Structure 1
Amino acid sequence: MNIDKRQLVMEWYELYYEDIYRFILFMIGDKQCCEDFVHDTFVRAYTAYDRFDHRSSIKTWLFSIAKHLVLDEIRKRKRNRFISFDREISSSFNLEQYIENKESVNQLFTAIQKLKPNYRLVIILKKVEECSTKEIARILDWSEAKVRKTLSRALQSLRKKNAIEGGEHVEQTL
């Protein structure tokens, strides 16, 4: 089977660009660096293609690559950044249906940016990217139990910060 690796990665780029971009944007909150990280994700997928064992989906594998890039960047920065949320790329959900006030949206995403990186990862993958617990476990190389426990702690941390009024509604907001 002769696979044109370049063509295949270009197809993945077309299919998953928005998902990877949104994930990276929410993780690091820096639009200017985001394009570079998305590009690097697909370059790494191209160079590592021969080592991809197909135990997970392509999307899961790409998220895993992006996760490593993002965590490296977070470690380099050693400080939190804040994002101003705007609807640059549409998501699979409509935040405006859940939150009428843009200020509330900004408060929520600012609060997410203040969380520990692992908390950010699980909240974004589960609530924004709508990955299953099993997919998140593969992306993060964790057990499904650890994913559930970390998500619970992350949501609890958001509630404690009173990031949005009525913190008990965090899950409904996301």
Structure 2
Amino acid sequence: MNKDRKRLVMEWYETYYDDIYRFILFMLGDKQCCEDFVHDTFVRAYTAYDRFDQRSNVKTWLFSIAKHLVLDEIRKRKRRRLFSMNLMERDIPSSFNVEQMIEHKEAVTHLLTAIQQLKPNYRIVILLKKVEECSTKEIAQILDWSEAKVRKTLSRAMKSLRKINGLEGGGHVEKTF
């Protein structure tokens, strides 16, 4: 059984590493510790494998584990501003359109900086919905919230993001994603 569990978790690692890495990187804005948190996510998945009851898909479950690790870290750091402008130096696999990212690099950098100023729940919802392109249902499963709460929190998060960016209409924020 342990051999099968190890093989399965390694398959998950190969499949979901980039998604989990990107999520943690955008949440913490700290490349230095990102690898450790990705590793910890898969170690916890391995040790908690018996509690994975298949109610959600594997990706949703892994994001849920990563979310708990990230929120614990954010609490430990007491909301210090961690975002580094060097974030855009490394190629990060993403669902972003590469041409759009190059064309709007300054806007994207400004947007990511603004996202780091949001409270953690807002940050999580925006990143899962707009960057990771999770459905409302998947986000609800990851966060253990109702779908209505996800929609309401996303709406509030986008409003806060527009306020940080000084944009009333907010069309520019959505276009950057």
TM over 0.5: yes
Deviations 1:25-48 (A, max 9, x none): 000000010000000000000000
Number of the residue aligned with 1:83:
84
- Percent identity between the two aligned chains: 79
Number of the residue aligned with 1:60:
60
Q: Extract structure 1 runs of 4+ deviating beyond 4 A.
A: 163-166
Paired residues, number:
174
What are structure 1's unaligned runs of at least 5 residues?
none
Asked whether the equivalents of residues 162 and 168 of structure 2 are also in contact (C-alpha less than 8 Å), the reply is no
Number of the residue aligned with 2:7:
7
1-structure distance, mates of 2:165, 2:25: 23
What are structure 2's unaligned runs of at least 5 residues?
none
Select which of 147, 152, 155 maps to 1:144. 147
In structure 2, the residue corresponding to 1:68 is in which secondary structure?
helix
Asked whether the equivalents of residues 108 and 163 of structure 1 are also in contact (C-alpha less than 8 Å), the reply is no
1-structure distance, mates of 2:150, 2:7: 34
**Structure 1 residue 88, shift from structure 2 partner:** 2.4
Report the TM-score when normalising by structure 1.
0.93
Greater mean deviation of Cα atoms: 153-162 or 164-173: 164-173
In structure 2, the residue corresponding to 1:4 is in which secondary structure?
helix
Give the AA of the match of 1:124.
Answer: L
1-structure distance, mates of 2:128, 2:160: 17
2-structure distance, mates of 1:156, 1:167: 8
Asked whether the equivalents of residues 112 and 158 of structure 1 are also in contact (C-alpha less than 8 Å), the reply is yes
Report the TM-score when normalising by structure 2.
0.91
Select which of 129, 133, 139 maps to 2:132. 129
2-structure distance, mates of 1:21, 1:168: 28
Let me know the Cα RMSD of the aligned residues.
2.0
